[in-house]
Amino acid sequence: MRDFYSVLGVKRDAGADEIKSAWRMKAKSVHPDQNRQDPDANRRFTEVGRAYEVLKDPEKRNRYDQQRDKVEAIEREQTIMQQRQAAREAAEKAKIAKANAERVLAELARAEAEKAKADKQAQAQAQSKAQATQAKSEKPQQGAPQAQAQPQGQGQGQAGPQAQSKANAAGESPEDLVSRIFGDTPEAAAVAETLKRDAEAEAERNESEHPSGIVKPASILAPIELLTSLVRRIRGIQPPPEKAPDLVVEATVTIDDLLAQKSVPITLSDGRDLRVPLDGGVTHGQVVRLKGQGLRLQGMGRGDVAVTVRVAKDEKFSVDGHDLKTVLPITLENAVLGCETKVDTPNGTVDITIPAWSSSDQVIRLDDLGLPTGDGGRGALAVELRVMLWEKPDDKVTDLMRVMREGLFL
């Protein structure tokens, strides 16, 4: 449903005069005669006229507002349903992620036990070989004792590879380990490949550091190494826990609140009272996020509260971004001849100069009299001139206008 208020560039609580003024400005800017090179000029001009036709009539405007409220209520209901569905899906993902994490911890504990067992066997091999070497050096004679030592050495020489083979058989290959945890998926294969490369690199280092043949089992990585390799890939498999959907609310503030940059209170649907800060250049339509103040859902991070700031209607000023707008009525003679007058601003009354031959809808900008911006400055005050006639007709002015239109007849 087309938003006629946005077509004219006015707020939903705009008055009849503001709507008429906006229509005149829009009609001038989008008129086909002023946009001959724009193929969409006729469509946009028609759309502006249709919006004004509806909004200028109080009865038509009321029916349009009611219909638009129904559409927005349906859209909000659909958004809530989507948020609930997203919350259910996120909770299911969190449950799966928790189960995977428990499996990873169990596998790490098992890998740690197998590594400790293999290290103990390797240490026993080293001690046996050291004892055999010492016995051989103490009995250098040829004969039975040396022959007796020789089988012992050979037995130890065979025990090392056998124990190594047994240790490797007791454990699993990187491919089997990862496949059992994550299943046969491309991501799991990538993890297994990473573990395999790490194991081969570890084996090469062991061979270069231990030429005697006693090496650290290469097929079983230390738990911290395994965890590092897994986490590097798990991040691409299981997303981190999602946040609960944001709680969307509105806060109605005044122009004085924005100028003072103070916080304003709001009440949530669950009865909680929060305060919304207005510093940092907050203006109409801006969303202020209150981190970690939203919904609590099991298995999910706490959501935020997204507060849309709405500025209440003011008798003197309206808000346009960080600028303020006001209307200054002037008489016909002051519009033609120019004058010095005064205008109300947020800082009080100031003097203003009206140039000669000023027309309605002409804007005079007064810098640094608008709303605070995020960089420490302030917007401008846009003063829109409005030429007003006298309350009663003036014969001299009437005759002058007739002469200017029809000419002087003697």
3-state secondary structure string across 175-193: HHHHHHHHCCCHHHHHHHH
How open is the CA angle 343-347-349, to the nearest 5 degrees? 30
Q: Residue 107 corresponds to which amino acid?
A: E
Structure tokens at 335: 């519009």
Each residue's pLDDT tens digit, 110-165? 777 887 888 888 888 888 888 777 777 765 554 444 444 444 444 444 444 444 44
How far apart, in whole angstroms, are the C-alpha atoms of residue 167 and residue 217?
8
Contact 371, 379 (CB under 8 A): yes
Q: Which two tokens stand for residue 390?
A: 């006298």
In this predicted model, what pLDDT tens digit does every residue of 317-350 receive, in sequence order?
Answer: 999 999 999 999 999 889 999 999 999 999 899 9
- Residues 7 and 23: their CA atoms lie apart, in Å, by 9
Report the alpha-carbon distance of residue 291 to residue 93 in Å, rounded: 23
**DSSP, res 33:** G
Rounded mean pLDDT, 219-239: 49
Instruction: Say how far residue 16 (Cα) sits from the centre of its chain.
Output: 38
pTM above 0.85, yes or no: no
Residue type, 247: L
Q: Could you report the per-residue pLDDT of 156-209, keeping only the tens digit for each?
A: 444 444 444 444 444 555 556 555 555 555 555 565 566 566 666 766 766 665
3-state secondary structure at position 309: strand
Q: Which residue has the tokens 């909770």?
A: 91
For residues 190 and 23, give the distance between their C-alpha atoms in angstroms, rounded to a whole number.
62
More confident residue, 219 or 230: 230
Q: Which pLDDT belongs to residue 180?
A: 57
Q: Check whether 310 has a pLDDT greater than 90.
A: yes
Residue with tokens 């005079």: 364
More confident residue, 233 or 284: 284
The percent of residues in the chain predicted with pLDDT above 90, rounded, is 24
Hunting for tokens 């724009």 — which residue is that?
A: 38
CB 99 within 8 A of CB 89: no
CA nearest 259: which of 380, 377, 370, 376?
A: 370
Residue ranges per structural domain of the chain? 87-237, 247-313, 318-406
* pLDDT on residue 222: 47
The amino acid occupying position 319 is V
Q: Are 345 and 366 in contact (CB under 8 A)?
A: yes
Domains 247-313 and 318-406 share a fold: yes
* CATH class of segment(s) 318-406: mainly beta
CA dist 111 → 3, 134, 165, 200, 368 (Å): 63, 35, 17, 17, 68
Amino acid present at 185: T
Identify the CATH assignment for 247-313 out of 3.30.830.10, 3.30.470.160, 2.40.100.20, 2.60.260.20. Answer: 2.60.260.20
**For position 192, what pLDDT does the model report?**
57
